[in-house]
A and B are shown apart, each in its own frame.
Chain A
Amino acid sequence: QVQLQESGPGLVKPSETLSLTCTVSGGSVSSGSYYWSWIRQPPGRGLEWIGYISHSGSTNYKSSLKSRVTISLDTSKNQFSLKLSSVTAADTAVYYCARGVFSGRYEARLDVWGQGTTVTV
Chain B
Amino acid sequence: QSALTQPASVSGSPGQSITISCTGTTSDVGSYNYVSWYQQHPGKAPKLMIYDVSERPSGVSNRFSGSKSGNTASLTISGLQVEDEADYYCSSYTGSSPHVLFGGGTKLTVL
Contact = CB atoms under 8 A, between A and B. Distances in A.
Interface of A: 37, 39, 46-49, 51-52, 60-63, 96, 100-101, 103, 106-111, 113-116
A110 B48 contact: yes
Interface of B: 1, 3, 32, 34, 36, 38, 44-48, 51-52, 57, 87, 89, 91, 93, 97-105
Contacts of B105: 46-47
A100 B36 CA distance: 12
Given A46-B105, A116-B45, A106 B98 contact: no
A111 B51 contact: yes
B99 A111 contact: no
B29 to A, nearest CB: 13
Contact of A103 (B1, B3, B52, B91): B52
A2 to B, nearest CB: 13
A47 B102 contact: yes
Contact of B36 (A61, A62, A110, A114): A110
A115 B103 contact: no
Contact of B34 (A51, A60, A109, A113): A109
B45 A96 contact: yes
A60 B38 contact: no
Contacts of B47: 113
> Which of B47, B48, B101 has the most A CB atoms < 10 Å from its CB?
B48
B100 to A, nearest CB: 5
Contacts of A60: 97-99
Contacts of B52: 103, 108-109
A16 to B, nearest CB: 25
B98 A51 contact: yes
A111 B103 CA distance: 17
Contact of A107 (B87, B99, B103): B99
> Which of A51, A52, A107 has the most B CB atoms < 10 Å from its CB?
A107
Nearest to A50: B98
A110 to B, nearest CB: 6
Contacts of B34: 103, 106-109
